Amino acid sequence: AAPDPPASPSARCSMAEPTETKAVPACPSARPRRSSATRDPPFSAASAVLLRRRGELGPTGSPRTPRHSRQQVAEPPEAPAAGDAAEEAGGAEQLYEMNISKELFYRLNHARQTYDFVHRMKHKHCALKKTRMSIFDALTRLGELEDHEHFMTMFAPSHKYTVLEHAMLTAEHIRLAYPEERWFQLTGLVHSLGKLLSHGALGKEPQWAVCGESFPVGCRFEDAIAYSEYFIANPDCRKRRYNTRHGVYSQNCGLAAVNMSWSAYEYLYHVLRLNKVTLPEEAYFAIRYQTFESLGKHGAYACLVCEEDIEMLPWLDRLRHFRQMAYAEMRDVPKLQQLYKYYAPIVKEFFPEELAW
């Protein structure tokens, strides 16, 4: 008789008993944590981290398959209709151009995001001496920027959208799903404000230093990072200090102690911290790590994660889910003036009148 198929990753996560070797230190928190909602995806970032710790995920984040499992044979795709040939040709050309752009982006990003570069960018941008703006002034400027990040997702919009339009759709999706969590709705509205780095008023940084996948610097680059083969051009790969599992960090030190690659989200995290915005810790965590795909999908860098990080991961999953939903359903985009009446009191609750940028 053929053996039973292997359990799914989520099933293994729920069935397997945790193997505790030693207590994992907790990292400090500035504010009390909020309780997690119950609407979590079946295979979450927390599940991925725990599976990686137990050795049940491979180096690229895919579940390890037992040797006795049966192989699944894929069925051949159906032949397209004759009338769809021209449409498919146009789609193939667009896909080719998207892949070329994505490859060039990651070549530049992975070659230049070094430990020293991140510290130079923090010194350059975290002094917050460029300008002062309110949140709604910043959102208005965000409407002047085209969203370049959609080409790195599986969704290709039929026409170009601004960063502001995507942010408003994200916030409105969260508002429908979480009507009581006003702070989370506001997090969805402001989650892309860091992309003002590419605006002329804040330095006009290149896209490879604004968008894309986030990852730790100062330790070995994991294979689970997209296009990880391009790290071969990164100088840190030839420095022994940065080319070990933990690098300059310690076991389970907590992500708050880890330097992340420089991006819009890292910049926004520091802007909010330095302006003493009173959003809860879950919001700060979700904003900073929203494109930390190798952690959220594959459980990479589990050796740096502490217990408090694991408790925060469900909120990271939720924000990533609504970001992707907004990319997939870019239609009926509201105007900022239509949302002002609802979000203005929430902004006043958590943000100062003006922020330094």
Residue 98 pLDDT: 57
Query: Known binder of ligand: residue 166?
Result: yes
pLDDT in tens, 180-198: 999 999 999 999 999 999 9
Query: For the chain, what is the domain count?
Result: 1
Q: Is residue 20 part of a domain?
A: no
Name the band, by pLDDT with cuts 50, 70 and 90, for residue 238: very high
pLDDT in tens, 283-302: 999 999 999 999 978 889 99
Q: What is the mean pLDDT of residues 48-69?
A: 49
Q: For the chain, what is the mean pLDDT?
A: 79
Q: Is residue 48 part of a domain?
A: no
Name the band, by pLDDT with cuts 50, 70 and 90, for residue 111: very high
For the chain, percent of residues with pLDDT exceeding 90: 58
Query: Known binder of ligand: residue 191?
Result: yes
Structure tokens at 311: 């408790």
Residue 42 pLDDT: 44
Residue 327 pLDDT: 81
Q: Is residue 289 part of a domain?
A: yes
Q: Is residue 41 part of a domain?
A: no
Residue 147: pLDDT over 80: no
Residue 76 pLDDT: 39
Q: Is residue 272 part of a domain?
A: yes
For the chain, percent of residues with pLDDT exceeding 70: 68
Residue 53 pLDDT: 59
Q: Is residue 342 part of a domain?
A: yes
Q: Is residue 31 part of a domain?
A: no
For the question of whether the overall pTM of this predicted structure is more than 0.85, the answer is no
Q: Is residue 15 part of a domain?
A: no
Residue 260: pLDDT over 80: yes
Domain that holds residue 99: 92-356
